[in-house]
Chain A
Amino acid sequence: MGQGALGSVYKNGDVIVRQGELADCMYVVQSGEVEVVQATHGGEHRLAVLGVGDFFGEMAVFEKEVRSATVRAHGEARALKVDKRTLLRRIKEDPLLAVNLLQTMSQRIRDLNATVAALQGEDS
């Protein structure tokens, strides 16, 4: 990776955010891939693999809840931290900034609905 890369480098398997932790920032993948996994009673379930430009951890920006999943590097990856304070301040000045986040979150709800529908189809 070049000297000009922004954010922090994570080696394969490095945990970037951990499920259950309190947080005050989100991340944007700058290079490489990260995987989102959730611990369940039955073990660990991979929810998604995210690539360059994708963001994660955004729930911590909008809710005062703990991280809902663990995100770790899938191979070497670089991610940029976006502070809750910086983001919310800017959204207050420019509400249109939230549209970009809403579009991604909307897409994730759409994907989730599709997954739920598929699971319900399997059950029936």
Chain B
Amino acid sequence: MMKAPKMPQNFFLSTSIKLRRSSSQSVADSFSSFSPDDGSDLSLKDGSRVAVIGGGPAGSFFSFFLLKMADAIDLDLQVDIYEPRSFTLCGPAGCNHCGGIVSESLVQILAAEGINLPAKVVQRGIESYVVHMDVGSVSLESPAKESRIAALYRGNGPKTSEGLPGESFDGFLQDLAIEKGANVVRKLVTGVDWSDGRPCLRMSGGGSSTYDLVTVATGVNSNFLRLLGEPPTEIKLPKTTQTYICEFRSSQEEIQRILGDSMHVFLLDIPRLEFGAIIPKGEFATMVMLGDEIDQDLVQDFLDSPEVRRCFPTDVTPSVCSCSPLINMGGMKRPYADRLVLIGDSGVTRLYKDGIGAAFRTAKAAASTAVFQGVSQEAFRKNYWPACKAIDTDNAIGKVIFAFTTLFKHSRISRRAIYRMTGREQKRDGGRHMRAVLWNMFTGSAPYRDIFLRTLHPGFIVGLVWNLFLGLWPSTTRKKEA
């Protein structure tokens, strides 16, 4: 039924990429020789050329906002997005290997920005989460009581989805960038040369082009990124871990019957598994597993667990597509240099959650820096890095929260306490301490700092301690509430 996890086949760039340097001059030397104080003008002017390597959300958001802001101050820029894939293709050829959730907060912010996700792009509006544990399942409804979380496909859907309604999220964003004036170049970037301090991209099939700014938005599943991590660029690569994503296909009615409009998350006591989730998307359901180096054994343990089998019996639902992409587990310490900036997963992203939200934030911060403050390393340090640092700092708090979550997952008493407390809050229709913590943790809608502060609320602490005490005895009212 399941295939062994393997690395994605369509890595953004081939392994043949080489960073060419002229004579003995290093790339780091090239960068350092263009500080704003040396007389060089590292700002974008009319006619400046910007290359964006990678046409996923980060690259398209960056291009969109760069051109929008430039237009606001009558600055004429040329933006080329290098993306060899077409997001009109189904399966791995047009996919960006992602669970495909746009968080509640990002949906709202995008709407305020004038970017409304059309129904043809959103496979399912998520109204609630169901948390499954061995002691029972609890349902968490959206505080707004409406569908504000978007389940979608980054590409044009998994294998076998040809002809079905729905469009790619990445394609939708790319179209927004094109409407603003960006050009999409369907070529593979195979290397970077530096000439007079300006980056010059080499393309597969020959040809090269010099730019005033190169923005790297390739994600972490890219050899291009590894290339930048090699000495002497001094750009340290982010830590990564392997995840697992799998698509199951059934009829739309069956998916609706089994999963409803809810995303299902699993808090299970399985070693190395942080959590797993199943997301309904039309005729498909996406299974996502996050943890420490997910391998085939772990996938099978998860699928065989009674909680998953009770919710989604995968042995009667065929798996049609799977991949094991890497995710960023620790941000870069310096995702920028003169005329070079790394955004989205390539630079800094949120721990486990809301990667698209982090792509949006870093892309917009990088774009505003480039337009208003320039493209020097110093400009990015002063104006772009704070946005990255805020995410990085929040991730440190997130690691503490996930450490506590792991402790709770390993104890049946504490799992009972979570189950009881959440259920009682729902019945009382009052205090939402545990429900709010779980909602924000699973949806990625709030910063980890907010979640942490909520756990310090006296109502949360008293409720948890009381339910831990009650948790010493098995619940007599155990039932599946989903």
Kindly state the separation between the CA atoms of A1 and B120 in the bound complex, as whole angstroms: 10
Contact A8 B124 (CB under 8 A): no
Which of A1, A26, A80, A93 lies in contact with B107, CB distance below 8 A? A80
Taking a contact as CB atoms under 8 Å apart, the answer to whether B108 and A82 are in contact is yes
Residues of A within 8 A of B334 (CB): none
Q: Contact at B109–A86, with CB atoms within 8 Å?
A: yes
Complex contact B113–A52 (CB within 8 A) = no
Of the listed stretches B19-27, B145-153, B239-247, chain A binds B145-153
CA distance A8 to B14 in the complex (A): 45
Q: Which of A13-50 contact B (CB under 8 A)?
A: 26, 28, 30-31
A contact residues vs B (CB 8 Å cutoff): 1-8, 26, 28, 30-31, 52-53, 55, 80-83, 86-87, 90, 93-94, 96-97, 99-101
A–B pairs, 5, beta carbons within 8 Å: A7-B148, A28-B112, A53-B114, A93-B387, A94-B365
A100 and B335 alpha carbons, distance in the complex (Å): 28
Give the Cβ gap from B243 to chain A, nearest Cβ, in Å: 24
- A59 vs chain B, min Cβ distance (A): 14
Contact B124 A80 (CB under 8 A): no
A30→B108 CA distance, assembly (Å): 12
- Per DSSP, chain B at the interface is mixed
- Contact size range, B: 35 or more
B403 at the interface (CB under 8 A from A): no
CB-based contact B144/A81 at 8 Å: yes
Bound together, the chains give a CA A90 to CA B387 distance in angstroms of 12
Residue A100 contacts which of B112, B117, B146, B166 (CB distance < 8 angstroms)?
B112
* Cβ of A105 to closest chain B Cβ, rounded Å: 12
User: A3 to B119, alpha carbons, bound, how many Å?
Assistant: 7
Grouping DSSP codes into helix (H, G, I), strand (E, B) and loop, the A interface class, with mixed when no group exceeds half, is mixed
By the criterion CB–CB under 8 Å, are B120 and A4 in contact? yes
The distance in angstroms between the C-alpha atoms of A100 and B125, with both chains bound, is 25
Shortest Cβ-Cβ A-B pairs, 6 listed: A4-B122, A2-B119, A28-B111, A8-B146, A5-B119, A82-B108
Q: Is the CB of A86 within 8 A of B117?
A: no
- Contact: B111 with A5, CB < 8 Å? no
B264 interface contact, C-beta 8 A: no
Partner of B112, one of A6, A8, A82, A93: A82
B285 → chain A closest CB, angstroms? 13
Cβ-based interface call for B116 (8 A):
yes
**Cα A5 to Cα B111 with chains together (Å):** 13
Contact A6 B109 (CB under 8 A): no
Query: Complex Cα distance A107/B166, Å?
Result: 34
In the complex, what distance in Å separates the CA atom of A52 from the CA atom of B147?
A: 17
A31 to B150 alpha-carbon distance, docked (Å): 16
Q: Cα distance A83–B108 when bound, in Å? A: 8
B113: chain A residues at CB < 8 Å are: 97, 100
User: CA–CA, A2 to B120, complex, Å?
Assistant: 7
B residues 250-309 in Cβ contact with A at 8 Å: 261, 282
A35 to chain B, nearest CB (A): 19
B124:A4 contact, CB within 8 angstroms = yes
A55 x B119 contact (CB < 8 A) = no
Structural contact, A52 and B116, CB atoms closer than 8 A: yes
